Amino acid sequence: MSAESVGIGLGLAMALGIFSFKGAVGAYYLCAVPGSGWRKGGILAGALAGDAALFCLAFWVLERVDLWRLAGDWMGFLKAGVLLHVVLCAGLLAWGIRLLARRAGASLGGMEARGWLLLVVPCPVCASAIFLVCAFAGLLFPGSIGLLRWAVPVAFVVSEVLFLGGLQILARWRRLEPLDLTGRLMILIALYFLLILVIAPQFQEAGRLYAVARATAGASPWNGALALAVLAAAAGGIWGLRRHNGD
């Protein structure tokens, strides 16, 4: 394989890792809230099955539809969905700060107990990015579609379970309060996605993959400005929270 193919393959693996880590944080959040263990287990199993089904659906659609021939249509959809993606990131930041501001031992409100949905349920842009990952995987390994159809969703689900186990071990080893750790990770994930929206357009000349990433992030300067505004607001909120806690 060429260096370019290896680079694209690593990028696809990283994309899968980011999405699975996001889902694992949501699953960890769900495990941290009060409730029946059987009910939580059912929800987690359903979420993992839904993720696997989304990948299987992507491969099923890609086998029947030429995604690249319709690139103009779905690129327009992705550009329109960037605003929703920024709003979701802003929600993750606000929710993470809210969790960090909780007093130790304070009971969870109804909304706080459902915050895991922000991480487990993919937004339209994230779901579309899964289709992109599957499409590029098909381009890299055109003769292995049958293998990819089950290997990619299995790898995604396994990595999500491993991330969840790692978070459980980390919390016990470092004696971290689960919702405090969840809040910090929500902020980290939101900042990562916002930085991607700001940085991705700067690599428009770095090849086709970066061109797709740029189109996903949107060419309009307002998208970057909005992401920067959310980042600034988040920095102010985190700084105020640290002052409030006396850190």
In order, the DSSP letters of 151-171 are HHHHHHHHHHHHHHHHHHHHH
Q: Is 72 a member of any domain?
A: yes
34-38, 114-118, 198-202: range with lowest mean pLDDT: 198-202
Q: What's the pTM?
A: 0.77
Q: Is 221 a member of any domain?
A: yes
At 168 the pLDDT is 93
pLDDT 10s digits, 58-67: 899 888 877 6
Per the structure, the count of domains in the chain is 1
User: In percent, how much of the chain has pLDDT > 90?
Assistant: 22
For 200, the 3-state DSSP assignment is helix
192 near 18, Cβ under 8 Å?
yes
Q: At what angle do helices 71-100 and 208-217 cross, to 10 degrees?
A: 60
31 near 178, Cβ under 8 Å?
yes
The mean pLDDT value for 46-54 works out to 92
Q: Is 43 a member of any domain?
A: yes
**Structure tokens that stand for 200 in this block:** 């991705």
Q: Is 246 a member of any domain?
A: no
Return the half-sphere exposure (C-beta side, CA atoms, 13 A cut-off) of residue 219: 6
Statement: residue 239 has pLDDT above 60:
no
pLDDT-derived band at 133 (thresholds 50, 70, 90) equals confident
Q: At what angle do helices 178-199 and 208-217 cross, to 10 degrees?
A: 110
Q: DSSP strand E in 183-224: where?
A: none
Residue type at 161 in one-letter notation: V
At 144 the pLDDT is 82
**Which domain range does residue 204 map to?**
3-241
pLDDT 10s digits, 178-229: 889 999 999 999 888 888 777 655 444 444 444 444 444 444 454 555 555 5
Statement: residue 240 has pLDDT above 60:
no
190 near 234, Cβ under 8 Å?
yes
In order, the DSSP letters of 19-42 are HHHHHHHHHHHHHHSSS-HHHHHH
The overall average pLDDT reported for the chain is 77
Q: Is 247 a member of any domain?
A: no
Q: Is 189 a member of any domain?
A: yes
At 158 the pLDDT is 94
Q: Is 165 a member of any domain?
A: yes
At 63 the pLDDT is 84
Residue type at 180 in one-letter notation: D
User: In percent, how much of the chain has pLDDT > 70?
Assistant: 68
Q: Is 131 a member of any domain?
A: yes
202 vs 138, residue with greater confidence: 138
